[in-house]
Chain A
Amino acid sequence: MRVSFTVNGRPQEADDVWEGESLLYVLRERLGLPGSKNACEQGECGSCTVRLDGVPVCACLVAAGQAEGREVVTVEGLADYAKQRAEGCGTGSCGTPLDEARRWAAGGTHSRTGEGTGTVPRATLSPIQQAFIDAGAVQCGFCTPGLLVAADEMLERTPNPSDEDIREALSGNLCRCTGYEKIMDAVRLAAARQSEAV
């Protein structure tokens, strides 16, 4: 079957989708967006977390057909999504085109050297992404995309989170490098920067 839906602000279509296929498979294998990670396939690990109509969900547990007509934001579109949330979208060219999303790579500033780390010149990072780099919250990186999507949504909802708020919002995301303390630091940092900016 064909599935038509919005991915990172742009309309997309996927063809020859099997009826039992997950949204995660469509994103990774049919649209070429491997940022959302495939690990447990049972909603335990959170590494496939995306926004579905704004709500954080495990993409592995959404049937592809259920995404028809819906809006999905993946980690590849997170920087643009955060930027438009902060600045609004007046130009009419919102969202992240698929080819850019496919080539997306972190273009942040390295915390020690001050040099750019990215390979693609675009890619300004969202505040949460920059905070993860600055706090050293990325180890192997596998859990990072899901954590970023979940943490970004929490900061949107709860601008001044308590540690309990952060722990609860991230309770569905597993990090097997056990980098949780640095991850907590990163979210606290992003929240602090966010409240300074206001």
Chain B
Amino acid sequence: MDFLRPASWEEALAAKAEHPTAVPIAGGTDVMVEINFDHRRPEYLLDLTRIGELGDWEVGEETVRLGASVPYTTIMERLRGELPGLALASHTVASPQIRNRGGVGGNLGTASPAGDAHPALLAAGAEVEAESVRGSRLIPIDEFYTGVKRNALAPDELIRAVHIKKADGPQQFSKVGTRNAMVIAVCAFGLALHPETRTVRTGIGSAAPTPVRAKDAEEFLNAALDEGGFWDSGKIITPSVARQFADLCSAACNPIDDVRGTAGYRRHAVGVMARRTLTWTWESYRATGRDAHEMGGAA
């Protein structure tokens, strides 16, 4: 095994181009587990922790450009206003020790269906900034996850950052596990209200081969909220609408039975989380967002 230690982003891209099998390592919270358990013996480890800019973030007009290695702890503490869904999801990652090291770049690189960041990224709307010596591109988050632990990265590409839409309304994240810390999600659900476009977006974790959106549920809810004038009136969402939304979210799952839970349980739990997160976000919208929206501003 060789330990490659690029001092700059350009050097890292050159190293990845020269050794496409090199395994990038930043926080190490996935990669080191595999090495410790002899599940993986990469020819090259590509250490990204010397590259300072991967730990930086920029808050722009519409998006946050979040460096691939910004630790979950920092997202929780510094970006709760701009990225409330991701901040909530970050808080459910493992333990303080892990949150101090791990970041969204690793979650995306591993592309486990159980990664905690994915539902929040899907719900908020995001693009993955992938770069190689050939150039840089933005991959829409909906096209990023291609299979179980597979993503759209080319062998010579590295994740530089993820561009996440700043919240324009309330966001929520919910996760089912056996305790409140050190838990891999049995299943998880993210929901974001987007009052500016009068849309709702969702993200489902650990209940399909990849993280997915519940697009039918989103379409149904968008239409129901629009037809009922809910965005303007801010009235309580009709229970039958919430129930139909929850059922459609359950239907968007394609789960398996495994040691953490059965497929049936996951489908049911996703529906419950969908209804709850919708209620929580809608209550926030009613409390604060509606007035701002009626005055023409963002929530």
Contacts and interface: CB of A to CB of B under 8 A. Distances in A.
A19 B1 contact: yes
Contacts, number: 90
Interface in A160-181: 168-169, 171-174
Contact of B36 (A60, A65, A68, A174): A60
| Contact count band on B | 20 to 34
Contacts of B32: 22, 43, 60-63
Interface stretch (A49-57, A112-120, A126-134, A137-145): A49-57
A20 B96 contact: no
Given A66-B28, A66-B49, A150-B96, A42 B181 contact: no
B139 interface: no
A12 to B, nearest CB: 18
Contact of A61 (B33, B96, B182): B33
Interface in B24-52: 25, 27-29, 31-33, 35-37, 41-42, 45, 47, 49
Nearest to A18: B1
Interface in A44-83: 44, 46, 49, 55-58, 60-63, 65-66, 68
A172 B93 CA distance: 11
A168 B179 CA distance: 12
A49 B36 contact: no
Contacts of B47: 63, 65-66
B5 A68 contact: yes
Contact of B3 (A22, A41, A65): A65
Nearest to A3: B3
A86 interface: no
Contact of A63 (B3, B37, B100, B180): B3
B97 interface: yes
A43 B97 contact: yes
A116 B70 CA distance: 46
A197 interface: no
A42 B33 CA distance: 5
B236 to A, nearest CB: 31
B80 to A, nearest CB: 16
A138 to B, nearest CB: 21
B88 to A, nearest CB: 14
Q: Which of A43, A60, A172 has the most CB of B within 10 A?
A: A43
Given A19-B2, A55-B100, A150-B97, 18 more contacts: A18-B1, A20-B42, A22-B35, A42-B36, A43-B95, A46-B97, A56-B96, A57-B100, A58-B97, A58-B98, A61-B28, A65-B3, A65-B47, A150-B96, A171-B95, A171-B181, A172-B96, A172-B98
9 contacts: A18-B1, A42-B33, A44-B182, A58-B97, A61-B32, A61-B101, A66-B47, A150-B97, A171-B180
Interface of B: 1-3, 5, 25, 27-29, 31-33, 35-37, 41-42, 45, 47, 49, 94-98, 100-101, 180-182
